[in-house]
Structure 1
Amino acid sequence: MNKSFEIGTLLLRVITGIIFFVHGLSKFQGMEGTIQFFGSIGLPSFMAYVIAAIELIGGVLVFFGLATRIVGVLFALTLIGAIITVKLKAPFMGNAEFDYLLLLTSIHLALTGSRFLALDPFVFKGKKNGNVSA
């Protein structure tokens, strides 16, 4: 991959990690409300913990470039679920665009991984291109 691509992916990876970390932290800090919201859309309460953990832990992992491709898949699945259960009612209103953009960023990370200033190449040395594949 060329250096410009890697720098661009690094920037996407870092900001995506921060965004998911903050959203996961917010869910944990207001878990009672998160559980109520999940219940209001027909999801079991334990899913609030699962999604919050994916966002919080996944955000940290992606920020540091660790298991980027796997976490990218988890983020994408989470966002697809959010879009289907909540956002389809108003597809381009009420910050749905933000979810679409995060979905595409997550798919990009899942497909390409991220090597530049990432831990993946050091932790998963035996994997092709230093990226953990999903």
Structure 2
Amino acid sequence: MGISRNFASFVARVLLGIIFIAHGWQKFHTMKISGTTSFFDSVGIPFPKAAAYYATWVELAGGVLLILGVLVPLVSILLIADMIGAIAYVHADKGFWNSDGGWEWPAALIAGLLAVGLAGTGRIGGDHYLTGRFRRS
């Protein structure tokens, strides 16, 4: 992976990480787990308390791990599952456009997660060092 691809992967991971940290923090600090649970229950999400904990912590911890470039493929899968749930239970019946509450935004996040999850971290990320990927790029 050349320097520009390494840098592009890094920037994408950082931006996605910031977005997910912000959404996880909103669930944790602003809405609290109880508010998130109530909302999830109101839209019919099964096991709303467990789902609230999952969404909150996968977004907070996953965002941090994306920024650090650690376990990026696994984190991407967990966050994609989170976004699929958001689309299925909150956004699908509102159409496409984000301005109408539709599925445009979580779909864009899924696209970004697919890209970084499949591309890997390159040289600018913890996975590169943790997995011993010291080959020339």
What TM-score, normalized to structure 1? 0.86
The structure-2 alpha-carbon separation of the partners of 1:81 and 1:67, relative to structure 1 and needing over 3 Å to count, comes to same
Contact 1:10 1:116 in 2 (8 A): no
Amino acid at match of 2:101: G
Contact 1:65 1:115 in 2 (8 A): no
Aligned residues: 128
Runs (5+) with no aligned partner, structure 2: none
Structure 2 residue matching 1:86: 3-state secondary structure:
helix
Residues of 2 paired with 1:11 and 1:98: CA distance? Answer: 19
Deviations 1:80-113 (A, max 9, x none): 1111111111222326322111110011122111
2:15 corresponds to which residue? 15
Runs (5+) with no aligned partner, structure 1: 130-134
1:118 corresponds to which residue? 125
In percent, how many aligned pairs have the same letter?
31
What TM-score, normalized to structure 2? 0.85
1:37 to 36, 39, 43: 39
Structure 2 residue matching 1:42: 3-state secondary structure:
coil
Contact 1:17 1:62 in 2 (8 A): yes
RMSD, aligned α-carbons: 1.8
2:108 corresponds to which residue? 101
Displacement, 1:128?
9.3
1:65 corresponds to which residue? 69
Q: Which runs of 4+ in 1 moved over 3 A?
A: none
Amino acid at match of 2:38: Q
Contact 2:7 2:124 in 1 (8 A): no
Residues of 1 paired with 2:104 and 2:11: CA distance? Answer: 19
Residues of 1 paired with 2:134 and 2:123: CA distance? Answer: 15
